[in-house]
Chain A
């Protein structure tokens, strides 16, 4: 097993030591957040990284994608992690059938999180504190990656995920509403940086469900790429995930497409995307010199 990805970049470059926490987030639903999260988790695990996937979506699609039933998620789930102050992260973790890959499952109860946290102090950074405690503990095995599948809403779950994340990946389809969702997310990220000292950095925008035969998809892709590269830099992953029925079949089977059909076009695309993510992360962590936790955060 390789050491943490950040090992080469020097310790202390991440708030969680050698652990990279990546949130998959977009305000728009149906842009392949869960699929991207699940398959990249499987790809990293396959490369011998220790990976924890956190399902923060009440729809619990990432949980079922790993073949874990809802019964598992009654006592060990993200809901307990967020609402119970003394519930440690290690208690919420369940192993999956994939080596090196564990899961914090979700259930429909997670939808009540907003209500449960409304009177809590420091509710935005609860998840961040839990991950930090987990990583400080000498009794726990550390993960190289924690991947968080966010819900398609800008609620307290997404706020917690973004406050805890070191990086974010924004899956986006080449449809106008998905771009609007991305712009809304941008406002929220900026607010979190200003208000609670979040340190999340953009790792990249992943184009998903792309249909190169459609003039609209090609046009919107070109416009988005031109705009982002001109205004902000090379933040769009060069690997484009095309629309594929194999992915849907894999979801129904409760196993990531990477394992179900590794030779499929979609699986190969996710493997290439995983390499690209790792490469970007290696280059990015070297520059991440900001203090891990900003002052004023509980």
Chain B
């Protein structure tokens, strides 16, 4: 009698072969950047930093074979992550199953150490790397900022007369410069001279206890110097500005907002009187220069970006249009306006925005324009019909 035996074959992956899924995201972006591999060797000797670079870079070997549509969908996340990484205001979190937060990982840590292996029901191995790059919640002020916060700025000048003395120190020690909560542009510097010690001395019969700082300040009195307390404009760093906003501000936008009023306030007209005539100076004087408030620019920009991320393109368009009105020479604003117009299907207007952005030196605007042209879009020129004929 022949007995029939039924054998079931369980197929195991060969030694060393496993499924690797690397996923990196940043808050506010819907689609993370994902890469799939079939060997643990993919992680190799890479550090976390190198791995992130390779994953978000569309030209790296890890992106070979990834469909173009996926790369395009991932690009907002890739751009946002690379922007964050270009600053010191980020932290990388290793996420667990169900996005449970595991720990902060260092960029120098070996990538293989953060791999989370899992075994399937049939004994196959899966390796997951699930990271999230976030802007750091707490950014501690650097040394310079700590000093600015701790001490008032004091300038010493020569005394106008020998009777001048240093004022009572109580005012010194108590009055520290206040740092405004959300100020990107410093106010005009104000100075007040402390020259009349008598009223202060009368007001308080007992001299106020001198702090170390106050002692230092009072020392030059014998050499005929008067201390002037100068409330110099508070300079806040990019990192601190980002922290105070609670959201990452692009470095170039922050710098532009800082310097735009200062550069606009400079009068270069005298340099060109030989070419344009002396009238150019009078014209410059008459010109009513409306300077945009840098804090407002940043505010509108962040609002626009927020709307765009949440796919509320109509509101984003209003924000970007306002930005272009405030700062017409900014290529980035033109680019963002063009992208939003494109998302709203207003191709013609988007092309105009990209054209201006390209003229202002924005590389991305040039590429977008080229892509649109390759896709068959043309401006409404009188000869536009030729494209159909072609």
The chain A residues found within 8 Å of chain B, CB to CB, are 168, 170, 176, 179-180, 182-183, 185-191, 193-194, 198-202, 215-216, 218-220, 222-224, 226-228, 230-233, 235
Flag whether B329 is at the interface (Cβ < 8 A).
yes
Contact A186 B271 (CB under 8 A): yes
Contact A199 B272 (CB under 8 A): no
**How many of chain B's residues have a CB under 8 angstroms from any CB in A?**
28
**CB proximity to A under 8 Å, residues B263-287:** 263-264, 266-276, 278, 280-281, 284
Flag whether B28 is at the interface (Cβ < 8 A).
no
Which residues on the B side are within 8 Å of A193 (C-beta)?
273-274, 278
Q: A201-B274, A219-B255, A223-B263 are in contact. List 12 more A-B contacts (CB 8 A).
A: A179-B266, A186-B270, A188-B270, A189-B271, A222-B361, A223-B329, A224-B263, A227-B264, A231-B269, A232-B271, A232-B272, A235-B275
Instruction: Kindly provide the distance from the CB of A262 to the nearest chain B CB, expressed in whole angstroms.
Output: 30
For B2-24 the 0/1 string (1 means CB < 8 A from A) is 00000000000000000000000
Contact A176 B267 (CB under 8 A): no
The chain B residues found within 8 Å of chain A, CB to CB, are 251-252, 255-256, 259-260, 262-264, 266-276, 278, 280-281, 284, 329, 331, 360-361
Closest residue on chain A to residue B256 by CB atoms = A219
B268's contact among A183, A216, A219, by CB below 8 Å, is which? A183
Contact B271 A179 (CB under 8 A): no
A227's contact among B251, B268, B331, by CB below 8 Å, is which? B268
Contact B271 A215 (CB under 8 A): no
Instruction: Kindly provide the distance from the CB of A186 to the nearest chain B CB, expressed in whole angstroms.
Output: 3
Which residues on the B side are within 8 Å of A182 (C-beta)?
266, 268, 271
Which residues on the B side are within 8 Å of A170 (C-beta)?
271
> Given contacts A186-B267, A227-B268, are A201 and B275 in contact (CB under 8 A)?
yes
* Complex Cα spacing A198 to B269, Å: 16
Instruction: Kindly provide the distance from the CB of A260 to the nearest chain B CB, expressed in whole angstroms.
Output: 32
Which residues on the A side are within 8 Å of B256 (C-beta)?
219, 222-223
Which residues on the A side are within 8 Å of B251 (C-beta)?
215
Instruction: Kindly provide the distance from the CB of A62 to the nearest chain B CB, expressed in whole angstroms.
Output: 22
Instruction: List 17 A–B pairs whose Cβ atoms lie within 8 Å, in order of A's numbering.
Output: A176-B263, A179-B263, A180-B266, A182-B266, A182-B268, A183-B266, A183-B268, A183-B270, A185-B270, A185-B271, A190-B270, A193-B273, A201-B274, A215-B252, A222-B256, A227-B263, A231-B284
Instruction: Kindly provide the distance from the CB of B172 to the nearest chain A CB, expressed in whole angstroms.
Output: 30
Which residues on the A side are within 8 Å of B360 (C-beta)?
226
* Complex Cα spacing A179 to B261, Å: 13
Contact A183 B272 (CB under 8 A): no
Instruction: Kindly provide the distance from the CB of B101 to the nearest chain A CB, expressed in whole angstroms.
Output: 32
* Complex Cα spacing A232 to B272, Å: 7
* Complex Cα spacing A180 to B272, Å: 16
* Complex Cα spacing A189 to B360, Å: 30
Which residues on the B side are within 8 Å of A176 (C-beta)?
259, 262-263
* Complex Cα spacing A189 to B269, Å: 10
Most chain B C-beta atoms within 10 Å of own C-beta, residue among A176, A215, A231? A231
Q: Which A-B residue pairs are the 7 nearest by beta carbons?
A: A186-B270, A190-B270, A201-B274, A226-B329, A186-B271, A219-B255, A183-B266
Contact A232 B276 (CB under 8 A): yes
Which residues on the B side are within 8 Å of A191 (C-beta)?
270
Which residues on the B side are within 8 Å of A231 (C-beta)?
268-269, 284
Contact B269 A186 (CB under 8 A): yes
Most chain B C-beta atoms within 10 Å of own C-beta, residue among A176, A182, A183? A183
* Complex Cα spacing A215 to B254, Å: 10
Contact A194 B278 (CB under 8 A): yes
Contact A220 B252 (CB under 8 A): no
Contact A219 B280 (CB under 8 A): no
Closest residue on chain B to residue A290 by CB atoms = B274
Instruction: Kindly provide the distance from the CB of A231 to the nearest chain B CB, expressed in whole angstroms.
Output: 7
* Complex Cα spacing A183 to B269, Å: 8
Which residues on the A side are within 8 Å of B273 (C-beta)?
189-190, 193
Which residues on the B side are within 8 Å of A216 (C-beta)?
255
Which residues on the A side are within 8 Å of B276 (C-beta)?
232-233
* Complex Cα spacing A124 to B236, Å: 45
